[in-house]
Structure 1
Amino acid sequence: MINTSKHINEECATTRGKCFIDTVYQSDTGVYWCESGAGECSDAVNITVTGGHVILESPVHPVQEGETVTLRCTNKMTSSSNLTTEFYKDDILIGSSSTGNVTIHSVSTSDEGVYKCKISGAGESPDSWLAVREMDPTPTIYSTLQPWTT
């Protein structure tokens, strides 16, 4: 079963935990997760369906603090890798690239937000949410139980 944040439930044929939808539309953009017959749910993922030519490729699952993340901006109308690309976070310009890529080293929760890119002469991508999971601040402590002796 596929669920979205728009409260649309659709049954679809699944094969080995995968679900295929033949035709998608921009209105299908949303948060999706799988739900078993017993009511157990998978992690949610954001899926953006775009009708434009510019696409921002970003992780669909939350990334762990400290990881390196590369965002890639592509133009479906050309295979050129020499693209003048601007990257935005929360509508603020964070940098530009001639390769169409931007890398965030050692991500932190402050990097979480809405990203998009613009390619000169081609347009801009839809917004894409980058979620960052905090590292567990408490280390795991193991103890050894000793039997009592009398």
Structure 2
Amino acid sequence: MSFLLSPMRRAAYTSTSTRAFSTTRAAALARMTIVGRLGTDPEISESAAGNQVIKYVVGSSYGPKDNRQTSWFRVASFAPQGSGARDYLMGLQKGTLVYLEGDATMRTYDDADGKKQSSLSLVQTKVEVLKRPQQQSTENGALGV
């Protein structure tokens, strides 16, 4: 006994059974998207290769209000000196709500006690400010926008 599909059903089956593909190897790309608040003001430091890097932390919360959990992500940006992107990042402050896209890399290492540890590194590829934190006004203790 054979199973035959009508031409209409065969066309529907064929179109849903195809898969999309990319020319990029799967192992060559790991991208993360995060919406969260800056946990620190961005800081400039120097990488092991001698390049300046902007580092900051983004916290993203999830779960019900009575049991909210926060995940913290360390982010690096290699915006060149004198660029508008670098000035933009350095102008952000703790509490700013951002949309972040970054390339992710997971590495495993042995800590000082010889225990295996893992670390997730994010290199920013895109950042957008969604909301700036409210500024406290010194006049009458009122909050400003």
Same fold (TM over 0.5): no
- Relative to the length of structure 2, the TM-score reads 0.23
Bigger share in helix: 2
Bigger share in strand: 2
